[in-house]
A and B are shown apart, each in its own frame.
Chain A
Amino acid sequence: MTTVIERRRTPVRRSGVAIGAVVLSVALVLSIVMAVTIGPASIRFTDVWSSIASHLGFGQSPLSVLRDGIVWQLRLPRVLTAGAVGAGLAIAGAVMQAITRNSLADPYLLGLSSGASLGAVAVLVLGATVLLPVAAFVGALAALAATLVIAGIGSSLAPSRTILAGIAVSSLAAALTSFVIFWTATGDSYREIITWLLGSLAGARWPAVAIAVTAIIVVGVPLMVGGRMLDAFAFGDTSAASLGVNVVRTRWIMLIGTALLTGAMVSVSGSIGFVGLILPHAVRLIVGARHRALLPLSALSGAIFLIWCDTAARTVFDPRELPVGIVTAMIGAPVFVLLLIRSRRAL
């Protein structure tokens, strides 16, 4: 066995990643600070933060009750939810890409998000709102199981089959979600369908923050810590097993973890696509495929990405507001095409 002295860390290789983490953390804080001050109701930067400080017990809010409510009840929880959901989806995407050995895997493309939406809508219809995250998790897990069974679980999940199976499951779950809403909803059902299928953070209030942040802490952080096991999957299951990894157990834990994370995020935001696809790829280009670095940096950049996508969604076409999923799809779909073209492996 090695001694403590031999186990000291090499500073050189780690520093790049550490700098990246610090830079992204600062960028995330700045993004939150900036994003809450941007919105159709023009409120000055200092007033926004004085108002937030007053809710944290520092001083008096300079704003009227209405405008104070815009900051504290609408913008801040929405920005925080966007950050947590972006981080969660990016982690889920990176983990799925490793565990299915498919660089195109993503909770949206493999049907988890649609499955989670279906689960969420189903309990909403039944009136059991409390069970929303649980139902979304069950929906995500069921969709994932269906996708993997259709693709043919085995040591070699062919990338194309997995994606095609995901599309089939996703389409069916989306159709069922629309059906349930059409059948039960009165009035503005189109808006609701769009919210679940395209993803929107318009309804995010403090309970949404609580759910999304809790999911990050309870599921996301353990996935990031355990993520180093994912490196061993780079050359497949046999290789992972010969490196001492319990392949079956690790795969199940990781897949259930991604389903939990996706379910929690979808229950507050609907199925926002492509976040889990774009960010891990972008981060991998810069720091490589080592998951100890990839997962935390993907999470941070996912949070920043979705905060700004959502800020764009609610401001660019003011007074109209876009579902944020439209923004992420407009960026993500071309990236997906680019990845398809770049991947030289036979799909």
Chain B
Amino acid sequence: MQERQASQGVRRAREFEAFVAGAAGRLLHAATLLTAEAPDDNPRACRLLTLSLAHTYACWDRLGGEDPYACARQHMAARFAREAWHQHGLGRGRPTPPGTLAALTPQERLVLVLRLYEGVAEEQAAALLGLPPERVRVICDRAITLLTHPPARPAPAVRGPEVARS
């Protein structure tokens, strides 16, 4: 009995290691985009990824046929949304992060990364974030517009403080 359990543990560890080896790079890139940190200095993204992967590890036996990558991604998105909500207004004095998506708010980053980087369908992203699909589309369009035509619009002047805060 114990022997079987041990061999099961070894198999499980091997499977999980293979999963991490395959998925960690892409997930870390997504996490770095979410936290808008520089690619070579991303402690928050590493922490986010570690916690989501640890959660996936703890759920590994109960996943059944579910995709572990989707599980980790979902947990990461939920955790990031929660953290962004708690830190809303805290980072006022923080310097603007150096990442690609630094000009966007955390919610815009989350929607953009889920929709365009991860390729999650609009309805799924909406269900994951607890928003109506139309709202997800609007946020995504706004983020795309902000990235492709950065300033030179009346809107950024109004959004100025909010952008600096995120």
Bound together: no
Chain B interface (Cβ < 8 Å from any Cβ of A): none
